[in-house]
Amino acid sequence: TATAGQLISAVHNVIHTSQLQKQLNNLAHYDSLTGLLNRNLLYNRLAHAVGRCNRYGHSCAVLVIDLNNFKPVNDMHGHNAGDMLLVEVADRLKRCVRETDTIARFGGDEFVVLVSELDTGKAHSMAQAGTVAEKIRATLAKPYFLRLKQEANAETTVEHHCTSSIGVVLFLANDTTKEDMLKWADIAMYQAKETGRNRIHFHEL
Protein backbone atom coordinates (compact mmCIF):
# COMPACT_ATOMS: atom_id res chain seq x y z
CA THR A 1 0.00 0.00 0.00
CA ALA A 2 1.08 3.57 -0.69
CA THR A 3 2.46 5.61 2.16
CA ALA A 4 1.02 8.98 3.13
CA GLY A 5 4.05 10.67 1.58
CA GLN A 6 3.56 8.83 -1.72
CA LEU A 7 -0.12 9.80 -1.80
CA ILE A 8 0.71 13.43 -1.14
CA SER A 9 3.36 13.34 -3.87
CA ALA A 10 0.87 11.81 -6.31
CA VAL A 11 -1.69 14.51 -5.53
CA HIS A 12 0.95 17.21 -6.05
CA ASN A 13 1.85 15.68 -9.42
CA VAL A 14 -1.79 15.67 -10.52
CA ILE A 15 -2.21 19.30 -9.47
CA HIS A 16 1.02 20.29 -11.23
CA THR A 17 -0.05 18.48 -14.42
CA SER A 18 -3.46 20.14 -14.31
CA GLN A 19 -1.90 23.58 -13.84
CA LEU A 20 0.54 22.92 -16.68
CA GLN A 21 -2.29 21.87 -19.00
CA LYS A 22 -4.20 25.01 -18.10
CA GLN A 23 -1.15 27.17 -18.84
CA LEU A 24 -0.60 25.45 -22.18
CA ASN A 25 -4.28 25.93 -23.04
CA ASN A 26 -4.03 29.62 -22.22
CA LEU A 27 -0.94 30.00 -24.39
CA ALA A 28 -2.69 28.23 -27.25
CA HIS A 29 -5.89 30.28 -27.13
CA TYR A 30 -5.27 33.61 -25.39
CA ASP A 31 -3.04 36.63 -25.94
CA SER A 32 -0.43 36.71 -23.18
CA LEU A 33 -0.41 40.52 -22.89
CA THR A 34 -4.09 41.46 -22.90
CA GLY A 35 -5.75 38.18 -21.94
CA LEU A 36 -8.01 38.47 -24.99
CA LEU A 37 -8.59 35.61 -27.40
CA ASN A 38 -5.89 35.03 -29.99
CA ARG A 39 -6.33 34.11 -33.66
CA ASN A 40 -6.80 30.38 -32.98
CA LEU A 41 -9.75 30.75 -30.63
CA LEU A 42 -11.19 33.60 -32.69
CA TYR A 43 -11.37 31.33 -35.73
CA ASN A 44 -13.26 28.75 -33.64
CA ARG A 45 -15.72 31.36 -32.34
CA LEU A 46 -16.25 32.70 -35.86
CA ALA A 47 -16.94 29.25 -37.25
CA HIS A 48 -19.45 28.66 -34.45
CA ALA A 49 -21.16 32.01 -35.10
CA VAL A 50 -21.37 31.34 -38.85
CA GLY A 51 -22.94 27.95 -38.10
CA ARG A 52 -25.56 29.52 -35.84
CA CYS A 53 -26.33 32.19 -38.41
CA ASN A 54 -26.97 29.56 -41.05
CA ARG A 55 -28.97 27.37 -38.67
CA TYR A 56 -31.18 29.97 -36.99
CA GLY A 57 -31.24 32.85 -39.45
CA HIS A 58 -29.46 35.32 -37.18
CA SER A 59 -26.94 37.76 -38.48
CA CYS A 60 -23.64 38.76 -36.89
CA ALA A 61 -20.95 41.33 -37.54
CA VAL A 62 -17.17 41.30 -37.57
CA LEU A 63 -15.29 44.50 -36.71
CA VAL A 64 -11.59 44.84 -37.49
CA ILE A 65 -10.06 47.64 -35.42
CA ASP A 66 -6.65 49.14 -36.07
CA LEU A 67 -5.10 51.82 -33.87
CA ASN A 68 -3.93 55.10 -35.35
CA ASN A 69 -0.91 56.87 -33.87
CA PHE A 70 0.23 53.79 -31.93
CA LYS A 71 3.84 53.61 -33.14
CA PRO A 72 4.90 56.97 -31.60
CA VAL A 73 4.20 55.53 -28.12
CA ASN A 74 6.88 52.89 -28.59
CA ASP A 75 9.25 55.30 -30.30
CA MET A 76 9.03 58.00 -27.62
CA HIS A 77 8.47 56.03 -24.42
CA GLY A 78 9.52 52.42 -25.07
CA HIS A 79 7.71 49.15 -25.56
CA ASN A 80 6.44 49.04 -21.97
CA ALA A 81 4.38 52.13 -22.70
CA GLY A 82 3.07 50.51 -25.87
CA ASP A 83 2.10 47.41 -23.92
CA MET A 84 0.28 49.52 -21.33
CA LEU A 85 -1.66 51.23 -24.10
CA LEU A 86 -2.68 47.88 -25.64
CA VAL A 87 -3.88 46.61 -22.25
CA GLU A 88 -5.94 49.78 -21.78
CA VAL A 89 -7.42 49.38 -25.28
CA ALA A 90 -8.42 45.81 -24.42
CA ASP A 91 -10.10 46.97 -21.20
CA ARG A 92 -12.02 49.68 -23.06
CA LEU A 93 -13.18 47.21 -25.70
CA LYS A 94 -14.56 44.93 -22.99
CA ARG A 95 -16.70 47.80 -21.72
CA CYS A 96 -18.15 48.41 -25.18
CA VAL A 97 -19.61 44.99 -25.93
CA ARG A 98 -21.89 42.38 -24.39
CA GLU A 99 -20.62 39.29 -22.58
CA THR A 100 -21.95 37.20 -25.46
CA ASP A 101 -19.70 39.03 -27.94
CA THR A 102 -16.09 38.10 -28.66
CA ILE A 103 -12.96 40.26 -28.57
CA ALA A 104 -9.59 39.11 -29.89
CA ARG A 105 -6.19 40.63 -30.36
CA PHE A 106 -5.32 39.77 -33.92
CA GLY A 107 -1.71 40.86 -33.69
CA GLY A 108 0.25 44.06 -33.05
CA ASP A 109 -2.24 46.90 -32.61
CA GLU A 110 -5.09 45.20 -34.46
CA PHE A 111 -8.17 43.83 -32.72
CA VAL A 112 -11.26 41.95 -33.87
CA VAL A 113 -14.73 42.08 -32.34
CA LEU A 114 -17.41 39.52 -33.20
CA VAL A 115 -20.89 40.85 -32.46
CA SER A 116 -23.19 37.85 -32.47
CA GLU A 117 -26.93 37.21 -32.76
CA LEU A 118 -28.02 40.51 -34.25
CA ASP A 119 -31.47 41.13 -35.70
CA THR A 120 -32.50 38.99 -38.67
CA GLY A 121 -33.23 42.02 -40.88
CA LYS A 122 -30.31 43.65 -42.70
CA ALA A 123 -31.26 47.26 -41.91
CA HIS A 124 -31.68 46.62 -38.18
CA SER A 125 -28.53 44.49 -38.05
CA MET A 126 -26.47 47.22 -39.71
CA ALA A 127 -27.86 49.78 -37.26
CA GLN A 128 -26.99 47.55 -34.29
CA ALA A 129 -23.47 46.87 -35.58
CA GLY A 130 -23.01 50.56 -36.33
CA THR A 131 -24.00 51.49 -32.78
CA VAL A 132 -21.38 49.10 -31.35
CA ALA A 133 -18.72 50.35 -33.78
CA GLU A 134 -19.41 53.99 -32.94
CA LYS A 135 -19.26 53.27 -29.21
CA ILE A 136 -15.86 51.62 -29.73
CA ARG A 137 -14.58 54.44 -31.96
CA ALA A 138 -15.59 57.12 -29.43
CA THR A 139 -14.26 55.16 -26.44
CA LEU A 140 -10.86 54.45 -28.00
CA ALA A 141 -10.49 58.10 -29.05
CA LYS A 142 -10.46 59.33 -25.45
CA PRO A 143 -7.01 60.31 -24.06
CA TYR A 144 -4.80 57.62 -22.54
CA PHE A 145 -2.88 58.34 -19.35
CA LEU A 146 0.05 55.96 -19.03
CA ARG A 147 1.91 55.71 -15.73
CA LEU A 148 5.52 54.94 -16.59
CA LYS A 149 8.29 53.88 -14.23
CA GLN A 150 11.39 56.06 -14.21
CA GLU A 151 14.74 55.69 -12.50
CA ALA A 152 14.70 55.05 -8.74
CA ASN A 153 11.11 53.76 -9.06
CA ALA A 154 9.78 57.26 -9.73
CA GLU A 155 6.61 57.43 -11.83
CA THR A 156 5.56 59.84 -14.52
CA THR A 157 2.22 60.05 -16.32
CA VAL A 158 2.22 60.43 -20.08
CA GLU A 159 -0.88 61.57 -21.94
CA HIS A 160 -1.30 60.02 -25.37
CA HIS A 161 -3.99 60.43 -28.00
CA CYS A 162 -4.78 57.41 -30.13
CA THR A 163 -7.79 56.85 -32.38
CA SER A 164 -8.97 53.84 -34.35
CA SER A 165 -10.05 52.90 -37.85
CA ILE A 166 -12.84 50.32 -37.92
CA GLY A 167 -13.96 48.06 -40.74
CA VAL A 168 -17.31 46.30 -40.38
CA VAL A 169 -18.82 43.42 -42.32
CA LEU A 170 -22.28 42.03 -41.69
CA PHE A 171 -23.01 38.33 -42.04
CA LEU A 172 -26.47 37.39 -43.22
CA ALA A 173 -27.22 33.68 -43.49
CA ASN A 174 -25.67 32.51 -46.77
CA ASP A 175 -22.52 30.76 -47.94
CA THR A 176 -20.12 33.36 -46.54
CA THR A 177 -17.14 31.84 -44.69
CA LYS A 178 -15.28 33.10 -41.65
CA GLU A 179 -12.26 33.74 -43.89
CA ASP A 180 -14.40 35.95 -46.15
CA MET A 181 -15.69 37.94 -43.20
CA LEU A 182 -12.23 38.66 -41.83
CA LYS A 183 -10.90 39.57 -45.27
CA TRP A 184 -13.77 41.93 -46.06
CA ALA A 185 -13.69 43.58 -42.62
CA ASP A 186 -9.94 44.09 -43.03
CA ILE A 187 -10.45 45.72 -46.44
CA ALA A 188 -13.13 47.98 -44.93
CA MET A 189 -10.74 48.94 -42.11
CA TYR A 190 -8.11 50.08 -44.63
CA GLN A 191 -10.78 52.07 -46.44
CA ALA A 192 -11.57 53.77 -43.14
CA LYS A 193 -7.89 54.67 -42.82
CA GLU A 194 -7.68 55.97 -46.38
CA THR A 195 -10.69 58.25 -45.92
CA GLY A 196 -9.28 60.06 -42.90
CA ARG A 197 -8.86 57.64 -39.96
CA ASN A 198 -10.89 57.71 -36.74
CA ARG A 199 -13.71 56.45 -38.93
CA ILE A 200 -16.01 53.46 -39.47
CA HIS A 201 -16.44 51.86 -42.88
CA PHE A 202 -18.95 49.12 -43.77
CA HIS A 203 -18.14 46.51 -46.39
CA GLU A 204 -21.06 46.27 -48.75
CA LEU A 205 -22.05 42.68 -49.64
What letter does residue 154 receive in the DSSP assignment? Answer: -
Q: Using CA atoms, how far apart are residues 149 and 88, in angstroms rounded to an integer?
A: 17
- 175 catalytically annotated: no
Q: Which three-class secondary structure state does DSSP give residue 118? A: strand
Pairing of strands 200-202, 163-172: parallel
31, 66, 101, 109: the catalytic one is 109
Question: Three-state SS across 3-24?
Answer: CHHHHHHHHHHHHHHHHHHHHH
Which residues have a catalytic role annotated?
109
